[in-house]
Each structure stands twice: as structure tokens, then as C-alpha cells.
Amino acid sequence: MKIRTNSEGNIYTIAVEGRIDMLNADEFQQAADEAVAKLFGKSGTLIMDFSQLKYISSAGLRVILSCYKQMKKSSGTLKIINVLPAIMEVLEITGFKNIVDISETEVD
């Protein structure tokens, strides 16, 4: 898994490439925690770009849920963009599509 981050004002982007599974979910959690900390109290937006994400396990889903809760607590938002069909299917089956703002394309 490769993670790229970018911060511009109140928008922090995490782009993930490869797989998120139990072997590397801690690394994903670290990047997410850093983003949440930088945005805390700023009503910011955390964007997770999954255009290169090929697989996500329950460990990765837990990180997303944790970020969602933390961003909501600090009056921020979490958006997931560029979701490939296989990942979108996982997000739909697990109910994440009903909780988190998810788009198969770039943010409007």
C-alpha cells in the first residue's frame, strides 16, 4: 500500500494505492489520524481518494468509520472519492454508502 497526502487550507486529502488489509491498516490509521488532527476544530474536509485502491478489508473499514466519527465530532466532513466498482460494492454491502459521502468521481 502507498499513501500520498496533501493539505490545502481546510481540505486534507489521503490518496491510497493498492490494498488496505490487517497487515497495513495501522499505517492507514496513522495517516488518517494525522489528517484529523490537522483539521480538528476547523470544520474541515477530509477526502479519501480511492482511485488506486484495489481491496479493503474490515480493518480498513474500521479506520474509515473512526475518521467519520472524529470528523463529525469536530464539525468536519469525510468524503470518499474516485471509488472503483469493486470497492463501491463493499461500501454498499457494509452500509458505508448510507453514512459517508461517497462518489465514484471527483468532488463536485
**Is 107 inside a domain boundary?**
no
The secondary structure of 24-45 as a DSSP string is THHHHHHHHHHHHHHHTTTT-E
Of 15, 84, 83, the residue nearest 100 (C-alpha): 83
| Domain membership flag for residue 22 | yes
The pTM assigned to this predicted structure is 0.92
**Does residue 17 lie within any of the structural domains?**
yes
The answer to whether position 92 is within a domain reads: yes
Confirm whether 65 is domain-assigned: yes
Provide the number of structural domains found in the chain: 1
pLDDT at residue 108, rounded to an integer? 47
Is position 14 within any domain?
yes
Domain containing 42: what range? 2-102
- Is residue 9 a part of any domain in this protein? yes
CATH code, 6: 3.30.750.24
Helix ranges, 40-95 (H): 58-73, 85-93
Residue 108 counted as domain residue: no
Q: Report which residue type is found at 80.
A: I
Pairing of strands 101-102, 77-81: parallel
pLDDT along the chain (108 residues), means of 10: 94 97 96 92 91 97 96 93 95 95 70
Q: Do 21 and 55 touch, CB atoms closer than 8 A?
A: yes
